[in-house]
Amino acid sequence: MKQYLVKPGAKVKLSKIDPADTGDFKGGKEAALAEFEKLNGKLEALQELLFAEHKHKVLIVLQAMDAGGKDGTIRRVFDSVNPAGVRVASFKAPTAEELDHDYLWRIHKQVPGKGEMVIFNRSHYEDVLVVRVHNYVPPEVWEKRFDQINEFERMLAESGTTILKFYLHIDKDEQKERLQARLDDPTKRWKFRLGDLDERKRWDDYMEAFEDVLSKTSANYAPWYVIPANRKWYRDLVISSILVETLEGLKMKYPESEENLEGVVIE
């Protein structure tokens, strides 16, 4: 799955990356699902270990266009983990109080503590995406944010946080289908916002903004992955496998009891 990693310093051109890529699973959604189930079980065990060891902090950042699959990813990839050790932080348009502070203020409050896994559904990257596309602040303000974000994430990493960032890559046709489904399906309508259509008109501006994000803020200590996301089953599989591989790489161990349990007999 390393092919989806954005190498630090590499210039990303999203039009050159196939959103419908299904890797080694060309004909095989069934095979992919079987593989996914295995990873799901591993993730469950790794998350328990993370919690028990109480040493590492894990931060997962999800960014995508509207209907890109952030909610679905959270629902599917994390459906086996214990809710006690996982938290989702969703970042909407900032409140008045949040706007009175620096843009990282609300973000920093939500980062994971020891033993915790936190999923960011949108993140500080909105402050160089929607904010840039809509000119909410002038370029001289948002341009500085790439360095600021890199330093912020470096600080988190040096404080024991494992950071993984996923850009869910869909194409404009796929977005149209998904927005249409939201419009047509009464159980999905609540997700449809007319404003999403305005954002859709700015697709090219967003792609440019995402390319800058991916090119300027992928670091060894906080890598970006561009996840082919037109096929939901492949998206979930790729994210699960990167997550499992990364967590296995932490070489976590169940801690010993803090008390001496030698010879303890339970009557």
User: How far is residue 97's CA from residue 95's CA, in Å, rounded to a whole number?
Assistant: 5
User: How far is residue 59's CA from residue 119's CA, in Å, rounded to a whole number?
Assistant: 6
Nearer to ligand AMP, 76 or 182 (CB): 182
Nearer to ligand AMP, 21 or 126 (CB): 126
Q: Shortest Cβ distance from residue 71 to ligand AMP (Å)?
A: 8
Nearer to ligand AMP, 54 or 193 (CB): 193
Q: Shortest Cβ distance from residue 85 to ligand AMP (Å)?
A: 24
Which 122-141 positions form the footprint of ligand AMP (CB under 6 A)?
Answer: 122, 126-127, 130-131
DSSP H stretches of helix in the chain: 29-53, 70-77, 96-99, 105-108, 130-133, 139-142, 145-158, 172-184, 194-201, 203-216, 232-248
Which 220-249 positions form the footprint of ligand AMP (CB under 6 A)?
Answer: none
Q: Containing H/E element for 166? A: strand 161-169
Closest CA to 112 of 86, 76, 74: 86
Nearer to ligand AMP, 45 or 93 (CB): 93
Q: Shortest Cβ distance from residue 219 to ligand AMP (Å)?
A: 21
Which single residue brings its beta carbon nearest to ligand AMP?
Answer: 126
Nearer to ligand AMP, 42 or 76 (CB): 76
Nearer to ligand AMP, 56 or 235 (CB): 235
The torsion angle over the Cα atoms of residues 36, 120, 184 and 193, rounded to 10 degrees, is: -170
Interacting stretch for ligand AMP, rule CB under 6 A, among 8-16, 35-43, 75-83, 119-127? 119-127
Which 80-109 positions form the footprint of ligand AMP (CB under 6 A)?
Answer: 91-94
How many C-alpha atoms does 5 have within 13 Å on its Cβ side? 16
Residue in the structure block whose two tokens are 């890529």? 21
If binding is defined by CB under 6 A, does position 203 make contact with ligand AMP? no
Per the rule left: phi > 0, alpha: psi between -120 and 50, beta: everything else, 211 is alpha
Q: Shortest Cβ distance from residue 249 to ligand AMP (Å)?
A: 30
CA 57 vs. chain centroid, Å, equals: 15
Q: Which residues sit at the interface with ligand AMP, rule CB under 6 A? A: 91-94, 122, 126-127, 130-131
